[in-house]
Chains A and B, each alone.
Chain A
């Protein structure tokens, strides 16, 4: 019987060998795929087993980590002034994932960034708890607060930039939500999430400043003006243009381009006057004369049609159509038709003009730091493009100052400070059936050298339709934000 017994021994050894091969396969070859599986709760348990790093605004953390010692997770994310900073921080939830800075800066905040490897290794050796690094934002809390206060009871967004660097000083979206309410893994968080996602009228989780595009309306005339001046269609901003009282869109069967402000003063108005009065006829005709291709080129220099911009949070691309006919180009040149822009995009237009034509890349994160405050990365301002020449920028600045001094932007005037602006009232819905969007884009330069560029859009409000205009709704908010930054 010994021969079969020996064979049975070999067979039993083979069974054990097969198990060992399988164990090596699962724990070696398959391990990384298993660890990365979305349903493997270990990833989240690990992520919330130590405090995340903080997102810092104006030297103070707007995030914190609560030691909850829950069943699965040790810590839970919470937010200071959550609704106001939600468009910046985003949320970090144990159930619903994360977005915005919490998502994009996760490697630093979680401490898993390769640049933190040495520090982590040291912590492991010394037995210290792992800690995430901090993310320092460019947000100015006063500017943010001013925009937030201004938008209360309305629906819209406001973005403020430092024109000389591109630093984002304010990023407001209203209505908003408190990311603390959806951070946990419990029934309350579930309810809060369902309520937020289900609120289709207010869309509190929509980041209107970065992720929503609106027809820019008359504020787009700044781009058209830049194109006209660069292209030589206009050589003197105060010389009268050849504009009829009623401008018929070229190539159409007697379709006029109406002036929102009435027809007074727009006939043959100079560029300066046309901007102050926001004459659709003048800018529509100019756009058609400049041509679609040249207008597209100008819009792109100001940042349109770029869907890959990150600040480092991804920004939805603004749109200026390609290959349009003359009529569409005319409409697009006054910010209608298919032209759409994010509030950030319009703030970039104002910033480029204020910064003598140089468009700086907008950025939200100035520094990434390790847990012991050593700087891992420091943003150095860089130019995104030369949107227009310094000469043209200077001429548009003059005109924008005129808008605030004598035109539709008078509500943004700040004593002792040079302010330039442009209002906009964009049509919304078929045949303008919905409340129009009220825009205001502006910049301010203080004697002490501080600069700020702002774009505000108000979607909708309780105010009666006739009253809605950039002048009354958006400009005061922009003014408050500019004042908060430069004083006066």
Chain B
């Protein structure tokens, strides 16, 4: 277990402890904090400890333990922070959803916490499955084009389903019986897989075969193909599914991964320029997108006979929270109404835990994304690096898009806050995403053995 003979350049201190015990002790807190939050919410709302507290605590603890054991067994050298952070966010999300379930003022209010707990369980199951079945993340490379195709299909499907009034404009759901699935969420994993596989092959051509113009390396016309295709696709999503968030997210992931693969800043400039032009054009013509932009610029204007819109209500909720919040269960964030538990759940966090709670949650997200990027740095294979960057950036971008929308920093787009917001597709996707990142980090942090699994070319 000595590092001296390793030919591989990595930033991982060789022979370092694998930190599994650190993970376990952090997980204790990650379970304890939501359970205490649950107790406090119950005390504030009903004056007694919630009846389901024991079950909830045991369930959450069992999920966490299961995930931890899976990591211990299948990815013993994985990053120790990601799982506890994900568990903490998931647990807190359950508390806030349960709190909103209790708001009798919210109409219509279907209890969602139990469902969400079920989905969390499924998410953990998927997490364990990925841990056990995905021996090596490089296996995913084989499915590059399959992933791409699957992503395309999943993205296109909702546009062919009938429009529903309950979807409020954006067509991003598939309704099957009583279930509704948001396929765009799964694409968040499939697309980085596709991009990683594709860019690994193409990156040299994209990086080197370019002309210099005004100090910038401009890509050759025929290399523009892929970026044009993705650009067009993201605009199609915007036009046909009126889903600004997904559109920005996918294009963002692609530009970030392209930049990392080619190390060419010109791609970023080119991408941002194209995105800007495209969105500007769509915003001018598409009523739904234009409405969103109007709401963003004037969140406090009132409709005829009604109060302010949802963004206005979310801002009211955040403002009411102030520095330290009203206390769990003591806010009025149900005034946000529809989507208070999903897209707008940050409003409840902001009102009941204040800017302190919002900052803590944002830092947790930031930490999770940065651990993912740290994994990308440490990864020894280009596919793993690209995939880790893609998944982490997707995560960070999604947080920015939804939190920025709710706080009024950018136009609102229908997206869920990872792990916290109500939404089954979102929860299981994010657990799978963390599982893949953990698998990559396991390989990256694995003490260099005498012989590598296969010779690698690491730049």
Contact = CB atoms under 8 A, between A and B. Distances in A.
B316 A16 contact: no
Contacts of B354: 27
Interface stretch (B49-57, B218-226, B389-397): B389-397
A191 interface: no
A178 B254 CA distance: 67
B408 A16 contact: no
B385 A28 contact: no
Contact of A23 (B104, B358, B382, B389): B358
A4 B409 contact: no
Given A5-B385, A16-B396, A27-B319, A71 B105 contact: yes
A37 B399 CA distance: 28
Contact of B400 (A19, A26, A37): A19
Contacts of B259: 4, 7-8
Interface stretch (A39-47, A53-61, A215-223, A307-315): A39-47
B271 interface: no
Nearest to A49: B332
A3 B392 CA distance: 16
A22 B404 contact: yes
Interface in B362-382: 362-363, 365-366, 369-370, 373-374, 376-377, 382
Given A15-B399, A23-B358, A27-B319, A41 B392 contact: no
Contact of B373 (A8, A32, A35, A41): A8
A72 interface: yes
Interface in B250-294: 256, 259-261, 263
Nearest to B388: A5
Given A31-B319, A39-B312, A71-B105, A19 B407 contact: yes
A127 to B, nearest CB: 11
A13 interface: yes
B307 A39 contact: yes
Contacts of A121: none
Given A5-B385, A27-B323, A13 B370 contact: yes
A260 interface: no
Given A1-B261, A23-B355, A41-B332, A9 B407 contact: no
A31 B325 CA distance: 12
Contact of A1 (B332, B366, B385): B385
Nearest to B350: A27
A15 B398 CA distance: 10
A15 B369 CA distance: 11
A24 interface: yes
A18 B409 contact: yes
A13 B366 contact: yes
Interface string B283-315: 000000000000000001010000110001001
Given A1-B385, A19-B400, A34-B320, A27 B358 contact: yes
A5 B350 contact: no
B187 interface: no
A15 B315 contact: no
A399 B392 CA distance: 96
Contact of B308 (A20, A33, A39): A39
Contact of B363 (A7, A16, A18, A45): A16
A343 to B, nearest CB: 38
Contacts of B91: none
Secondary structure at the B interface, as helix, strand, loop or mixed, is helix
Given A8-B256, A19-B362, A19-B409, A45 B369 contact: no
A16 B407 CA distance: 13
Select the residue from A5, A30, A31 with max chain B CB neighbours within 10 A.
A5
A41 B313 CA distance: 9
B45 interface: no
B359 A41 contact: no
Nearest to A29: B319
B261 A28 contact: no
A28 B355 contact: yes
Contacts of A376: none
B382 A37 contact: no
Nearest to B385: A1
B404 A19 contact: yes
Contacts of A5: 260, 373, 376-377, 385, 389
A27 B408 CA distance: 12
Nearest to B312: A39
A23 B256 contact: no
B403 interface: yes
A12 interface: yes
A39 B319 CA distance: 13
B335 interface: yes
A9 B365 CA distance: 13
Nearest to B9: A2
B322 to A, nearest CB: 5
Contacts of A26: 315, 318-319, 350, 407-408
A13 B389 CA distance: 14
B127 to A, nearest CB: 23
B183 interface: no
Select the residue from B300, B386, B459 with max chain A CB neighbours within 10 A.
B300
B329 interface: no
B316 A4 contact: no
A200 interface: no
A128 interface: no
Contacts of B397: 15
Nearest to B203: A1
Contact of A9 (B307, B315, B335, B373): B373
A70 to B, nearest CB: 9
Interface string B319-355: 1111100000000100100000000000000100011
B326 to A, nearest CB: 9
Given A1-B382, A9-B370, A45-B332, A16 B365 contact: yes
Contact of A34 (B315, B382, B404): B315
Nearest to B321: A27
Nearest to B264: A4
A28 B362 CA distance: 17
A27 B407 CA distance: 9
A71 B88 CA distance: 33
Nearest to B326: A42
A34 B316 contact: yes
B399 A27 contact: no
A8 B254 CA distance: 13
Given A27-B350, A27-B354, A72-B105, A20 B316 contact: no
B393 A12 contact: yes
A315 B323 CA distance: 42
Given A1-B263, A16-B362, A45-B332, A8 B393 contact: yes
Contacts of B382: 1
A39 B260 contact: no
Contacts of B335: 41-42
Contact of A12 (B308, B312, B366): B366
A312 B431 CA distance: 64
B315 to A, nearest CB: 6
> Which 9 pairs of residues, A with B, have the shortest CB-CB distance?
A34-B319, A16-B366, A27-B355, A12-B396, A31-B319, A22-B409, A15-B400, A9-B373, A4-B260
Interface of A: 1-9, 11-13, 15-16, 18-20, 22-24, 26-28, 30-35, 37, 39-42, 45, 71-72
Interface of B: 104-105, 256, 259-261, 263, 300, 302, 307-308, 312, 315-316, 318-323, 332, 335, 350, 354-355, 358-359, 362-363, 365-366, 369-370, 373-374, 376-377, 382, 385-386, 389, 392-393, 396-397, 399-400, 403-404, 407-409, 459
7 contacts: A16-B362, A23-B407, A27-B318, A27-B321, A27-B355, A32-B319, A40-B316
Given A7-B259, A27-B358, A33-B319, 18 more contacts: A1-B385, A5-B260, A5-B389, A6-B377, A8-B259, A8-B393, A11-B256, A13-B366, A16-B366, A16-B369, A26-B315, A31-B318, A31-B319, A32-B319, A37-B300, A37-B316, A39-B302, A40-B316
